[in-house]
Amino acid sequence: MDNTRDRILEAAFEEFSLNGFQGGSLNHIVEKSGVTKGALFHYFKSKAELGYAIVEEVLPPMGQRRWIDPLNAANDPVEAIKQAFRRNIREDIKKIEVLTRGCPTNNLAQEMSPLDEGFRERIERGYDRWREALVNALERAKKRGQIKKSVVPKEVAALIVACQMGIWGSGKNSQSGELMIQASEALCSFLDTLKK
């Protein structure tokens, strides 16, 4: 990717994470990225197009690294899911800005999905990828006899993604890492009930 475009995306991600999409300032993005407003509009025709690029280009690698890659590489998907929640919460509560800002994908979903179908569709594609990876991993676990035959992977995947959204959202609102840990441990206890 073009270095100027990368700088704009990086600055926009920071700005939207801090101030939300609607509250985010293009002037701040221009200042942070060290480009002119003309350069910004050369790469992105509108603020919405810039936001869409964040959803399509910046957020997916983060989700892939944090949630999907560990799952795809796991011999025991249930343990991989539990480890991912515990690891990501531990990492995020150490960074006060992450704890107070919440999950960038969830933030955009909550703010923009009711207002802009382009955001809603793009964000949902990201959640669909994660749910699909979870379903595939849980199906593998079922075939290996690691989880009960009665488990419905599609339902469990929907619950896991909803739990992530809720845990990070409630962590942001309460600014309590302890609350995030408690909720995550409750999810982990539920996941243990899936095992044979």
Between 101 and 123, name the one with better pLDDT.
Answer: 123
- Please report the pLDDT score of residue 1 as a whole number: 47
Distance separating alpha carbons of residues 24 and 174, to the nearest angstrom: 23
- Give the global pTM: 0.91
- Please report the pLDDT score of residue 96 as a whole number: 72
- Mean pLDDT for 116-141 is 96
Confidence of residue 102 (pLDDT cuts 50, 70, 90): confident
**Which letter does DSSP use for residue 187 in this model?**
H
- Architecture field, domain 52-192: Orthogonal Bundle (1.10)
Class of domain 1-45: mainly alpha
Could you tell me the residue ranges of all domains in the chain? 1-45, 52-192
- Please report the pLDDT score of residue 2 as a whole number: 65
Within 13 Å of residue 35, how many CA atoms lie on the same side as its CB?
Answer: 23
Confidence of residue 48 (pLDDT cuts 50, 70, 90): very high
